[in-house]
Amino acid sequence: MSLAGFLAQLLNGVQYGLLLFLIASGLTLIFGVMGIINLAHGSLFMVGAYVAFLVTRSVGSVWLALPVALLAGAAFGALLERGLFRHFYKRDHLDQVLLTFALILLFEEARSIFVGNDFYSVPVPTAFDFSVPITAGFSYSAYRFAVIGVCLALAVALFLWIERTRMGAIIRAAAEKPEMVDVIGIDARRVHMTVFAVGTALALTAGVLAAPLYSVYPGMGDGFLIISFVVVVIGGLGSISGAFWSALLIGLVDTLGKAYVPAVAGLAIYVLMAAVLLWRPTGLFGQRG
Amino acid sequence: MLPTPKGAFALAAGTAMLAMLPFMAQPYYVELATTALVAAMLALSLQLLVGCTGLVSLGHGAFYGLAAYTVYLVTPEDAGLSIMITLPLAVLTAGGAALLVGALSLRTRGFFFLMVTLAFGQMIFFIFHDTKLGGGTDGAYLARPALSFLGLELTYTRRQRPVYLYYVALVQLVAMYLFLAFLLRSLFGRVLEGIRVNEHRMRALGYDTYRYKLAAFVIAGALAGAAGHMWAMHRAFVNPEIVGWHRSAEALLMILLGGLQSLHGPILGALAFTGLGELPQLVGDAKPLARFFATIGLDDFGVRVQALAERKLLLEGLVILAVVLALPRGLASLRLPRFIRPAYGEPPARDEQVRP
């Protein structure tokens, strides 16, 4: 295999990994702070992809879908938290699993009612519909570069928000010792709502970015959900930086595996996860079990 | 986990009703009921891990699928082997795989255990999905195991087949229930319950909890193998779908739907879950209902209800949502209205359920 081909696969892996990070960061935040295992997170990703499809169909540009997804996602996440999840923090994890599974079914049905069951492709925005020449004889899709850029920007924003702001500090504290946050008089409800809103907005954004790359189809959230859980677990539950590095790792392993050893590519990430967990039972960056 | 004397009576009555079903229903519904019974076997085997021991596994479907594939792999092209050969083989293969997977994954706990079992399940899935071992992604047909015991063979015609297979499944389900009930009454079962409630305490009492958990994992895997064997016998077809994590997740949902606190919960959950998908069809086909609605002037009632079948996920989603919101302890906690149910007093917490 040529060097140029390898470089292209490497970039694909990074792009896929960063997309996974957008989904996984929301999952890991929601788990870390509220202890909720949100199976419906993949469906939120799917909703994002369909938002991209609908916005593109009616307005003609996928870029407009980005702010729509961010805002609508945040509002929707806050609404879900207020209406449903809030009542489940004290319940057993398995009840939460049942609740979020029901949500998957409802999201799929809503998708089927409002958009239908067909596959749709979403055109790459015209401004990015070209290839960037890198060396002689090798060029790379500008849209994929744009996706890498947007994901990195969002990742940096998320890091700064978590590490440098007051709300971020509260979130880190709540992930570590939720009772303590209550005791010192912080309104935990507002924290929970914010975390849910941010997580949902990130998942929808990932869906928007993914739509031109993977097209949109029923059940598209499923595969991404499972892989995102793998990312979250390898990184360590609740750890944002863990999710970042393990998302890149999984993105690269999966993409390079599919390109060079397709026979075992499906297995690769699961073998990786099992190996990591048997070696470090709480993930690479995890603290607690 | 075990029923009260009154509950045992209700269970016996329920079993009798199930046993009479082939005399009352069309072959299509008998086959549907067999599907539900196989699901119940799988869910029941998983309950030993989830409800009894507190180990939430998301790889349980893999043992079930592996067993079904074992039947396919040992069966010659043209004629089925005796069930006396295929069943033990399927159970042993599933149990052996469970020993391997359990020995490794039981080193982790909680959510990580869930994910490691998922990983191992997916590995087994990809073995059948990505290789030509069992017909690849398309799956493969197989000759059904024959109902022969010690030289005696029970033959049936094509028309009788649904009924025969239904009883084969029912007998196995009842046997599995009785076996688990017996197991839970034993010291071994008590230790498992102790582990669920407080593993540290059990270890402090001197029990090697890892071994107990591993034994439970292997038994559950072997029983899932029996369910997978029955599936192969019922459908005479295997494909990678039966190995994948969806099957494991479904089994888990059935348990949650039915209730974690009892052995019959998973069976209720499996029947409800399987029936739920067919509910509009069932209601639409019901002649007495159609006649009733025709008399009050709603002639197209059946058609309208059947149109609901298109929106199957909506119905499933809403029912699961209703159960999780209104019945936190699952369908098994439903009681007939005893004129007035005692509305006061909290139900006992899970921890207090264990008898000394």
> Per-residue pLDDT for B19 more than 90?
yes
Instruction: Tell me the whole-structure pTM to 2 decimals.
Output: 0.84
Residue A225 lies in a domain: no
Asked if the Cβ–Cβ distance from B109 to A289 is below 8 Å, we say yes
| CB-based contact, B133 to chain A, within 8 Å | no
Interchain CB distance below 8 Å, A102 and B320: yes
Q: Which of A91-95, A132-136, B292-296, B334-338 has the lowest mean pLDDT?
A: B334-338
Q: Evaluate if residue B345 carries a pLDDT over 70.
A: no
Give yes or no for a contact between B134 and B73, defined as CB atoms under 8 angstroms apart. Answer: yes
Query: Of A41-50, B133-142, B209-218, where does mean pLDDT reach its minimum?
Result: B133-142
Q: Any idea how long chain B is?
A: 356
Reported confidence tier of residue B25, pLDDT bands at 50, 70, 90: confident
Mind spelling out the 3-state secondary structure of chain A?
Answer: CCHHHHHHHHHHHHHHHHHHHHHHHHHHHHHHHHCCCCCCHHHHHHHHHHHHHHHHHHHCCCCCHHHHHHHHHHHHHHHHHHHCHHHHCCCCHHHHHHHHHHHHHHHHHHHHHHCCCCCECCCCCHHHCCEEEEECCEEEEHHHHHHHHHHHHHHHHHHHHHHHCHHHHHHHHHHHCHHHHHHCCCCHHHHHHHHHHHHHHHHHHHHHHHHHHHCECCCHHHHHHHHHHHHHHHHCCCCHHHHHHHHHHHHHHHHHHHHHCHHHHHHHHHHHHHHHHHHCCCCCCCCCC
Residue of A nearest to B110 (CA): A289
Domain count, chain B: 1
d(CA B237, CA B42): 17
- pLDDT for B292 equals 76
pLDDT for B337 equals: 55
**Residue A26 domain-assigned (yes or no):** yes
Chain A partners within 8 Å of B58 (Cβ):
none
Report the distance separating Cα B332 and Cα B260, nearest Å.
9
CA A15 and chain centroid, separation: 12
Cα–Cα distances (Å) from A121 to A60, A146, A183, A211, A277, in that order, read: 13, 18, 51, 8, 37
Strands B237-238 and B140-141, how do they pair?
A: antiparallel
Q: What is the pLDDT of residue B155?
A: 83
C-alpha A174/C-alpha A169 separation (Å) is 9
Q: Domain for residue A130, yes or no? A: yes
- Asked if residue A94 is part of any domain, the answer here is yes
Note whether residue B235 is domain-resident. yes
At B166 the pLDDT is 96
**Average confidence (pLDDT) over A210-237:** 89
- Is the predicted pLDDT of residue A156 greater than 80, yes or no? yes
Sign of the dihedral defined by the CA atoms of residues B222, B227, B230, B234, in that order: negative
Rounded Cα–Cα distance for residues B301 and B298 (Å): 6
Residue A85 lies in a domain: yes
Residues of A in contact with B311 (CB under 8 A): 109, 112-113
Chain A positions contacting chain B at CB under 8 Å are 37, 87, 91, 93-95, 97-99, 101-106, 108-109, 112-113, 226, 229-230, 233, 237, 263-264, 266-267, 270-271, 273-274, 277-278, 281-283, 289
Where do runs of H (alpha helix) occur along chain B? 5-24, 27-47, 60-74, 83-105, 110-130, 161-185, 187-197, 199-204, 209-235, 245-258, 265-285, 287-295, 301-307, 312-326
Contact A271, B121 (CB under 8 A): no
Total count of domains within chain A: 1
Burial of B179 (0-12, 13-18, 19+ CB in 10 A): middle
Whether residue A32 is predicted with pLDDT greater than 60 in this model: the reply is yes
In a domain, A150, yes or no: yes
CA nearest to B328 within chain A = A95
Asked, for residue A227, whether it belongs to a domain, the answer is no
Mean pLDDT of A167-196: 86
Q: What percentage of chain B reaches a pLDDT higher than 90?
A: 49
Q: Which domain holds residue A184?
A: 15-219
With respect to residue B145, please indicate whether it lies within any of the assigned structural domains: yes
Phi then psi for residue B31, to 5 deg, are -65, -40
Residue B346 has pLDDT above 50, yes or no: no
- Region of poorest pLDDT, from A29-43, A169-183, A211-225: A169-183
Q: Which residue has the tokens 């072997």?
A: B222
Please check whether residue A22 is in contact with residue A150, taking contact to mean a CB–CB distance below 8 angstroms.
no
Q: Is residue A274 part of a domain?
A: no
Residues in chain A: 289
What are the φ/ψ torsions at residue B147 (nearest 5 degrees)? -85, 70
Which residue range(s) make up the domain with B33? Answer: 5-244
Q: Do residue B320 and residue A283 have CB atoms under 8 angstroms apart? A: no
The mean pLDDT value for B333-347 works out to 53
Q: Tokens representing B181? A: 């009930």
Residue with the bigger pLDDT between B309 and A54: it is A54
Q: Quick: pLDDT tens for B289-318.
A: 777 777 776 666 666 666 666 677 788 888
Please state which of the ranges A3-17, A76-90, A134-148 shows the lowest mean pLDDT.
A134-148
**What is the arithmetic mean of pLDDT over B195-201?**
94
The pLDDT value recorded for residue B341 is 44
Select the residue from B324, B331, B353 to test the A interface by mutation, using most A Cβ atoms within 10 A: B324
Q: Is residue B265 part of a domain?
A: no
Two structure tokens written together for B18: 């199930």
Beta strands B152-154 and B147-149, pairing class: antiparallel
Q: What is the pLDDT of residue A152?
A: 96
